[in-house]
Structure 1
Amino acid sequence: MNPTRRRFLAGLSVLAVAPVLAACGDDGDAAGQGSPGTGDTAASSGPEEGAFPVTIKHKYGETTIEKAPERVVCVGYTEQDTLLALGIVPVGVTYWFGDEELQGIYPWAQDLLGDAELPTLLQDANGIEIEKVAALAPDLIIGQYTGMTEQEYKKLEAMGVPVVAQNGDYADYGTPWEEAALTVGTAVGRPAATQELIDSVKERIADEAAAHPEFEGQTAAVVTPYEGLFIYGPEDPRSRMLTDLGFTLHSVITTADDSEFGISLSAERTSDLGDAGTVVWLDLAADKQVKSIFEGTTASKEGRWVDISEADGSYYVAHSFVTPLSIPYVLDRYVPQLAAAADGDPKTEPPAVSD
C-alpha cells in the first residue's frame, strides 16, 4: 500500500496531508512522561485496584500487561486522546494529518497536556518506524486506530515490550471509538475511569439525537472524491457517528459487498446520492467532475449536504478523529450543520464553523 493510500484509508482525502491548523505551544524535541494534564480528569490517582495484571485480546493474539506503564507509545493515529483524558501523556504519537508542529496534540486535547513535554512525533508513511519506537524506551506500545501488519506487530513484540494491536473483530481503522478507548484505558489500568468517560460522551450523543428527531431514519452518507468517489462504510467511525445520531446509511453503501470500511465508485456514480437525506462531503471541491455531477442532484438542489474541508481547520481534523475528546468538540459544530442540511430547505445554509 503506498503512503497516500494508507493515509486515505484511515479516513481522509488526498488533500488532507497539507497542514491546516495553527501552531500552538512550544515545539518539543524530546519526549517525556510529564505531569498529568490540568483538565478535570480522574487520572492522577494512578491505576485502579486490581487492574493488573491484565490480558487484552487483539488481532494478532493476546498481550498481558503486568503493571502500570509509564512510557506509552501510540502507533495508531488517535490513542493519545484517551490517554490524555486519563492524565497520561504518551512519549510518542503517530502523525496522521493537520499541523505537524502540534505533535499530535490537537486543540480539543491541549488543555490536558498541562506542563508536560510534547510527545515525539512518529511518521508512518512507510509503515511503523520500529527503530524510533525502540529509541523511546516504551513499556507499552498500543495501536487501535491503525493498520498495523502482523510483521510490524512481531517486530514490536520482539522488543520485549507489551504490544496491543487493533481489534481483530473489525476492519482495520474500524473499531468503534468506545471499544478502542476502553482498550486503551484497560491497558493503562483505568478501565472504570475510561468507561465513565465513554458513558458521558455517549450521553451527549444521545442527547443530540433526541433533540433532533428529524434525523431518525433519514438516509445519509459520508463521502469524499478519491479516484472517483469513496463512500465510507458502516464500520468507519464517521459513518457510525451518523447512525448514532439517528441517521440510516444510504443503500448505495449498505447493499454493497465487502463495504465494512467503504467502497470506491466511479465519479459518474455520484448521481446515486441524489435521493439521500443528507450527504456529508469531505473536500467536495477536490474533484470538479464529482462536484459538477452532485450539483445536478436533488440532494444538492434541496441543500441536503454539508462539506467539511481543509478550510475548516481543527474541525476538519476532529471530524475524522472520533475519540472521547474530539467528539464533543465536533458535535458543537456538526449537529447544527446536519440540522440545516436535513431540513431539505435550500435556503437554510449550514452554519460556518470556527476553531
Structure 2
Amino acid sequence: MKLPLRLGIAALAITTLVGCSADTGSSDGATSGADGSFPVSIDHTFGTTTVDSSPQRLVTMGWNAQDVLYALGLSPVGQPRYSYGATPAGIMPWTEKYFDPTETTLYEDPAAGEPSIEAIAALAPDAILAPYEGFDEAYYDKLSALAPTVAYPGDAWQTTWQDQTTLVGQAVGKPEEARGLVDGLGRTLSDTAAAHPEFAGKTLAVVNLDTASGEANVYLPTDPRVQVLTELGFVDAPGVEALAEDNPAGNFFKSISLENLRDIDADVVVGFVSGNAGPASDPAFAQLSAFGRGSAVVLSDEQVISGLSSVSVLSVPWVLDKIVPQLAEAARRAG
C-alpha cells in the first residue's frame, strides 16, 4: 500500500504531513442502488464491487470512511488506530463523541504500513470501505477475498470529500443521507467563503516545509486539502498548476528542492512544519514572499494539520473553526 507522510510531516505517502477524480461534484462510481436498495454495484480503480445486502460488519481503511459512517449514524466494527494528530485513544479528535470502543476495534496504525490481512480478517467484515486509500491491486485482491471491498476511484489519495461521502453512502444503503451530508458541508464552505470575500482570487500554495529532507512537498490541485481551500475562494498559484501539469505518475504532491521554493510563490502560503520550524529556521523560506508580508499560515499543531489533511464531513467543520481566522488575516495582508 502506498502511504502518503500520513497526515504528518513527511507527505500524509510520505497521510502523516507529508490522499478519484479532481471534480468537486458527487461520484458517478455507483452504478446501481442509487435509491438505497441492494444489491449495489460500485465502480473503482480496480473494477466493480457489488454489495449484495445491507452490510452489518463494516471495516474502514485509510482515512475518512469511518467519519462518513459516524455522520450517517453508523459505527464500523474496525477502523485504523491513528498516531499522528490523534488523541491518546488513537482516534481523531473530531470523532471523539462518536467512537465507542465496545463497538469498534482499532487495528494497527496505517502509518506503519499495510495493515495485515490477518488483522482485517479477524474483524470478520462483510464489507470493507476504502474510498480514500492508496493500496495496489494485489492487496485489493486479498481484501476482496475477505469481503466486498469498495476501493478508491481514480488515483490514490485523491478522492474528493464529496466522492468519499457518496461512495460510503451507496455502500451502506444511505445514498440520500449521504447527499444531505455533501449538501450540508457544501453550504458551510460557501457560507464561509461569502463571509470572507478577501479569500476570493487570492493565489494559494499548500506545502509541507520539512526542511530536514532538503525538500518541500507541494500539494497539487487534485489533493483534497487543497480543494477544500479553493472551495473557500482561493485559487491555485501558477507555480502549483505548473507542477500539476508535469505529473505523469498522477501523484497528489510533488517534491521540490528548498532552493526552488520561489517557483511556487503565492499570495497566501499554508505551510505545515514540525516543531519550531518556521521562517526564522531556514533562510530558504525567505523565497516565499508570503513570509515577508505576513501572509503565510504556518501550522505546527498535529491535530490541526490532520484536520486539514484528512478532509471529511466531520473534520472540515472542526478545522475551519481553528484556521479561518488565520486564513483571513493572511488574505488581508496579501492585499
Using structure 2 for the length normalisation, give the TM-score. 0.83
In structure 1, what is the Cα distance between the partners aligned to 2:167 and 2:62?
Answer: 13
Q: CA deviation at 1:14?
A: 3.2
Q: CA deviation at 1:52?
A: 1.1
Asked whether the equivalents of residues 209 and 246 of structure 1 are also in contact (C-alpha less than 8 Å), the reply is yes
Partner AA of 1:185 in structure 2: G
In structure 1, what is the Cα distance between the partners aligned to 2:134 and 2:334?
Answer: 40
Aligned residue in 2 for 1:25? none
Asked whether the equivalents of residues 77 and 146 of structure 1 are also in contact (C-alpha less than 8 Å), the reply is yes
State whether structure 2 residue 69 is matched by structure 1 residue 83: yes
Q: Which of 251, 274, 280 is the equivalent residue of 2:270?
A: 280
Which whole-Å deviations, capped at 9, do the CAs of 1:277-314 have from their partners, x for residues lacking one? 100000165488973221364321110101111xx253
Provide the secondary structure at the position in 1 that maps to 2:97: helix
Asked whether the equivalents of residues 89 and 119 of structure 1 are also in contact (C-alpha less than 8 Å), the reply is no
In structure 2, what is the Cα distance between the partners aligned to 1:272 and 1:127?
Answer: 35
In structure 2, what is the Cα distance between the partners aligned to 1:251 and 1:278?
Answer: 13
Q: Which of 265, 271, 279 is the equivalent residue of 2:256?
A: 265
State whether structure 2 residue 17 is matched by structure 1 residue 69: no
Which whole-Å deviations, capped at 9, do the CAs of 1:171-205 have from their partners, x for residues lacking one? 21101011011101111111100110110111000
State whether structure 2 residue 309 is matched by structure 1 residue 320: yes
Asked whether the equivalents of residues 79 and 104 of structure 2 are also in contact (C-alpha less than 8 Å), the reply is no
Asked whether the equivalents of residues 229 and 290 of structure 1 are also in contact (C-alpha less than 8 Å), the reply is no
Residues 7 and 102 of structure 1: CA distance in aligned 2, closer, same or farther (over 3 Å) = farther
Residues 136 and 343 of structure 1: CA distance in aligned 2, closer, same or farther (over 3 Å) = same
State whether structure 2 residue 12 is matched by structure 1 residue 12: no
Q: CA deviation at 1:109?
A: 1.9
Residues 89 and 50 of structure 1: CA distance in aligned 2, closer, same or farther (over 3 Å) = closer
In structure 2, what is the Cα distance between the partners aligned to 1:119 and 1:281?
Answer: 34
In structure 2, what is the Cα distance between the partners aligned to 1:297 and 1:57?
Answer: 42
Give the structure with higher Rg (CA).
Answer: 1
Q: CA deviation at 1:48?
A: 9.7
Mapping of 1:213-228 within 5 angstroms?
213-226=197-210, 227=213, 228=215
Q: CA deviation at 1:6?
A: 2.4
Q: 5+ residue gaps in structure 2?
A: 17-32
Q: CA deviation at 1:116?
A: 4.8
Residues 303 and 265 of structure 1: CA distance in aligned 2, closer, same or farther (over 3 Å) = same
Asked whether the equivalents of residues 220 and 279 of structure 1 are also in contact (C-alpha less than 8 Å), the reply is yes
Q: CA deviation at 1:63?
A: 0.7
In structure 1, what is the Cα distance between the partners aligned to 2:258 and 2:319?
Answer: 29
Asked whether the equivalents of residues 267 and 290 of structure 1 are also in contact (C-alpha less than 8 Å), the reply is no
Identity %: 36
In structure 2, what is the Cα distance between the partners aligned to 1:151 and 1:298?
Answer: 45
In structure 1, what is the Cα distance between the partners aligned to 2:328 and 2:93?
Answer: 25
Residues 277 and 69 of structure 1: CA distance in aligned 2, closer, same or farther (over 3 Å) = same
Provide the secondary structure at the position in 2 that maps to 1:255: helix
Asked whether the equivalents of residues 65 and 168 of structure 2 are also in contact (C-alpha less than 8 Å), the reply is yes
Aligned residue in 2 for 1:307? 298
Provide the secondary structure at the position in 2 that maps to 1:108: helix
Aligned residue in 2 for 1:204? 188
In structure 2, what is the Cα distance between the partners aligned to 1:321 and 1:133?
Answer: 22
Provide the secondary structure at the position in 2 that maps to 1:138: coil
Q: CA deviation at 1:217?
A: 1.1
State whether structure 2 residue 108 is matched by structure 1 residue 132: no
Asked whether the equivalents of residues 268 and 334 of structure 2 are also in contact (C-alpha less than 8 Å), the reply is no
Q: CA deviation at 1:334?
A: 1.6
Asked whether the equivalents of residues 128 and 148 of structure 1 are also in contact (C-alpha less than 8 Å), the reply is no
Aligned-pair Cα RMSD in Å: 2.7
Q: 5+ residue gaps in structure 1?
A: 20-46, 347-355
Q: CA deviation at 1:329?
A: 0.7
In structure 2, what is the Cα distance between the partners aligned to 1:110 and 1:198?
Answer: 21
Q: How many residues align?
A: 307
In structure 1, what is the Cα distance between the partners aligned to 2:251 and 2:80?
Answer: 24
Q: Which of 168, 171, 185 is the equivalent residue of 1:187?
A: 171
Asked whether the equivalents of residues 123 and 129 of structure 1 are also in contact (C-alpha less than 8 Å), the reply is no
Larger relative contact order (C-alpha < 8 A, sep ≥ 6)?
A: 2
